Amino acid sequence: MKVRRKALLEATQWNKLGDHPEVIQYIQDDQEETCIECGKPSADHGQLIFFEFKVCPGSWIIEAEEKQAMVFSQDAFDRMFEVVE
Ligand SMILES: [Zn+2]
């Protein structure tokens, strides 16, 4: 059986600091000047406040009802969500 989630979720595309209150400056590892996932400079990244999850520029921040933010790449966002309003 396949199911589709009914809840409306708040989605914000993150590109820079200030775009979402739960994303802070990425705490950079000196070894990692560019991101292995997106190829952009590590300095252009953020991370979630509550757990250290890196946020690439262009990623989507999704807030569920319980207000825990999650991060999705553009590709994952397109596969998992549809825009309804
Ligand atoms: Zn990246």
Residue 8 has pLDDT above 90, yes or no: no
Q: What's the pTM?
A: 0.80
Give me the helices (H) in 1-85, please: 74-80
> If you measure from the C-alpha of residue 59 to the centroid of ligand 1, how many angstroms do you get, rounded to a whole number?
9
Q: What is the mean pLDDT of residues 13-38?
A: 90
> If you measure from the C-alpha of residue 34 to the centroid of ligand 1, how many angstroms do you get, rounded to a whole number?
8
Does residue 25 contact residue 17 with C-beta atoms inside 8 Å? yes
> If you measure from the C-alpha of residue 45 to the centroid of ligand 1, how many angstroms do you get, rounded to a whole number?
6
Rounded-to-integer distance, Cα 55 and Cα 72, Å: 8
Expressed in angstroms, the distance from the first to the final Cα of the chain is 27
| Band of pLDDT at residue 4, cut at 50, 70 and 90 | confident
Does residue 24 contact residue 47 with C-beta atoms inside 8 Å? yes
Residue 63 has pLDDT above 90, yes or no: no
Q: What is the pLDDT of residue 2?
A: 81
> If you measure from the C-alpha of residue 54 to the centroid of ligand 1, how many angstroms do you get, rounded to a whole number?
7
Q: What is the pLDDT of residue 46?
A: 96
> If you measure from the C-alpha of residue 1 to the centroid of ligand 1, how many angstroms do you get, rounded to a whole number?
35
